[in-house]
Amino acid sequence: MCTGITIAWRDIPTRLIRKHQLDERIIQRSETADKEILFMQRHRQPLLPVFYQGELQILPWGNRHRHNNAPLAWWCELATLQSGAWSLYHPEPVEILANFGLERGVWFQIREGIQGAIIHDQHEQPCVYMLLQPASHYYQVMTGYHREPVFLGEQI
């Protein structure tokens, strides 16, 4: 499962960087490379940058709190979503913005982004779930994992 993504630091507005203290998450792969902001599933507060309701927002990645009535997960199988199993949560589509993704220690390029689903819990707090699908042969060889995110406008 894709356990982390990064997005270029210059793509995130300063107000969002300040609001979510994203400065702590800045990485740089080399001296000449652009700064990136890291979003990992294992972070204490897992977050994802998403394009939702016409603007860039930083929202919680999945749900880890049992008292919330949103599914206790970080990812959502596309087939499960299409079967209607999540319909009681009223999921909405959302675009997760990313330049690079991490899967089993392999960083790979993401051209446009990843499809996600957004669910609001009983307190109307949003949770974003990354959509997954069976991995292509290429992705499976590259990362060694049998499921891949649902990418926007491409197939790895």
Using CB under 8 A as the criterion, which residues of the chain lie in contact with another protein when the complex forms?
A: 8, 27, 29-34, 36, 99-100, 105-109, 111, 136-142, 144, 155-156
The nearest distance, CB 124 to another protein, in angstroms, is 34
Q: Which is nearer to another protein, 30 or 122 (CB)?
A: 30
Report in angstroms the alpha-carbon separations of 49 from 6, 20, 94.
9, 11, 10
Q: Which is nearer to another protein, 53 or 136 (CB)?
A: 136
Helix (H) or strand (E) segment spanning residue 40: strand 35-40
For Cα atoms 100, 53, 7, give the angle at the middle one, nearest 5 degrees.
15
d(CA 9, CA 18): 12
Q: Which is nearer to another protein, 70 or 156 (CB)?
A: 156
The nearest distance, CB 70 to another protein, in angstroms, is 31
The nearest distance, CB 102 to another protein, in angstroms, is 10
**DSSP string spanning 125-143?**
-EEEEEEEEEPPHHHHHHH
Q: Which is nearer to another protein, 1 or 145 (CB)?
A: 145
